[in-house]
Amino acid sequence: MEFLRDSLKQIQPLYEEKIEEAWQRIDNLTKPIGSLGTLEKIAARMAGITGNLVNSRLKKNIVIMCADNGVVEEGVSACPKDITRIVTENFTRGITGVCVFADMVQADLTVVDIGVDAEFNNTKIINKKIMRGTKNIAKGPAMEYREAVEAIEVGIAIVDELVKKGYNLLGTGEMGIANTTTSAAVLCALSNLEPDVVVGKGAGLTEEQYRHKIEVVKRALDVNKPNQNDPIDVLAKVGGLDIAGLCGCFIGAAKNRVPIVIDGFISSAAALCAVRLNPKIKDYIFPSHLSAEPGAIYMMKEIGLEPMLNLNMRLGEGSGCPFAFFIIEASQKMMRDMGSFEDANIVNNFLIDIREEKAI
């Protein structure tokens, strides 16, 4: 608990003066004011996070937290539980969705077993197992409060290590059958939203199975009565080890002043928990895409951020992060390589007028 508490305390606000400096540069580039839209906002925030107007060598890593979720026994997933173990192993073979997209942008992967109900004999999987899967949230708490703290601390420590190795742009991914159920429960617990609004079909369900999943989330909330004002209590009662571990990654990234990307519904549940633990963390987070899971939009609203893309993806694994990495790198290329008005020797009235308009 000490490590978590200290980490939360160390988080600082963004460098406001660097954001202002970045906007001066952005508004002086050879383009109409605001014409590079979201890229400009990303560039300004990157300056506020890192203290550099240009970050040209971004070393990228996606942390994938893998864990089983006891609620799978309620029949809330179309996939058998074994898929967690199989896909976790496949991350190390380069053949899953996230592997192939990460390769496109030279991002590395960190595969963490934080609670898979299996033993791995694979040096590429980091063993941080807290237990072999959580308990069934429809019957009682997923885990003890101290286990949730431990899982969060695993995430912080993993990020601390990655930062020491020079990684300065992080992504978040997960693998855990039934974790769209726990994520929906976490969202309901931390908001005033009802399960029938935020529960989706996850990896795929029939209408009947979907209605049953809504009932399971309602029961989980009813049985556990998570404390809306205590995100750790929420994680322990209706969350999972995967979500808790990722929550730690967001805390670790903010503590180390490193930008961190959200993938889908599950990693946004983790981000929401982190932001509730310390609202300053929000400024260090970039959501990549809007997951097709219906609760994803509510998750974004609760966090208060807008995703960059909508690709109707709902794979998880961190598979959306490489696309955001590309866009973040584009924002840095803009800062580094675009000419300013002075460089471009553009002195015609039209562009000068546009610049003056902004000042009005």
Ligand X SMILES: O=C(O)c1ccc[n+]([C@@H]2O[C@H](COP(=O)([O-])O)[C@@H](O)[C@H]2O)c1
In whole angstroms, give the CA distance from residue 182 to residue 192: 16
Q: If binding is defined by CB under 6 A, does position 18 make contact with ligand X?
A: no
Q: Which does 174 bind (CB under 5 to 8 A by kind): ligand DMD, ligand X, none?
A: ligand X
Q: Which entry of 40, 147, 150, 317 is annotated as an active-site residue?
A: 317
In whole angstroms, give the CA distance from residue 29 to residue 325: 22
In whole angstroms, give the CA distance from residue 177 to residue 202: 9
Q: Which does 141 bind (CB under 5 to 8 A by kind): ligand DMD, ligand X, none?
A: none
Q: Among 83, 163, 236, 313, which residue sits at the site for ligand DMD (rule: CB under 6 A)? A: 83
Q: If binding is defined by CB under 6 A, does position 68 make contact with ligand X?
A: no
In whole angstroms, give the CA distance from residue 323 to residue 328: 9
Q: If binding is defined by CB under 6 A, does position 175 make contact with ligand DMD?
A: yes
The answer for residues whose C-beta is within 8 angstroms of residue 41's C-beta and 6 or more apart is none
Residues present in the chain in total: 360
Region 249-278 residues binding ligand X, contact defined as CB under 6 A: 263-266
Between residues 213 and 255, which has the closer beta carbon with respect to ligand X? 213
DSSP secondary structure of 123-179? TTEEE--SSSS---TTTS-SS-HHHHHHHHHHHHHHHHHHHHTT--EEEEEEE-TTH
Residue (of 316, 274, 275) closest to 91 by Cα position: 316
The question of whether 306 is a catalytic residue gets the answer no
Neighbour-count burial of 215, counting CB atoms closer than 10 A to its CB (0-12 exposed, 13-18 middle, 19+ buried) = middle
Binding mask 309-348 for ligand DMD (x = CB under 6 A): ------xxx-------------------------------
Q: Among 203, 297, 330, 351, which residue sits at the site for ligand DMD (rule: CB under 6 A)? A: 203
Neighbour-count burial of 191, counting CB atoms closer than 10 A to its CB (0-12 exposed, 13-18 middle, 19+ buried) = middle
Q: If binding is defined by CB under 6 A, does position 87 make contact with ligand DMD?
A: yes
Q: How far is the CB of 171 from ligand X (least distance, A)?
A: 12
Between residues 181 and 256, which has the closer beta carbon with respect to ligand X? 181
Binding mask 297-316 for ligand X (x = CB under 6 A): -----------------xxx
Residue (of 156, 182, 143, 183) closest to 63 by Cα position: 156
In whole angstroms, give the CA distance from residue 77 to residue 213: 8
Q: If binding is defined by CB under 6 A, does position 89 make contact with ligand X?
A: no
Can you give the binding site for ligand DMD, defined by CB under 6 A? 79, 83, 87, 175, 203, 315-317
- Which residues here bind ligand X, judged by CB under 6 A? 77-79, 174-181, 202-203, 263-266, 291, 293, 314-317
Which residues does the annotation mark as catalytic?
317
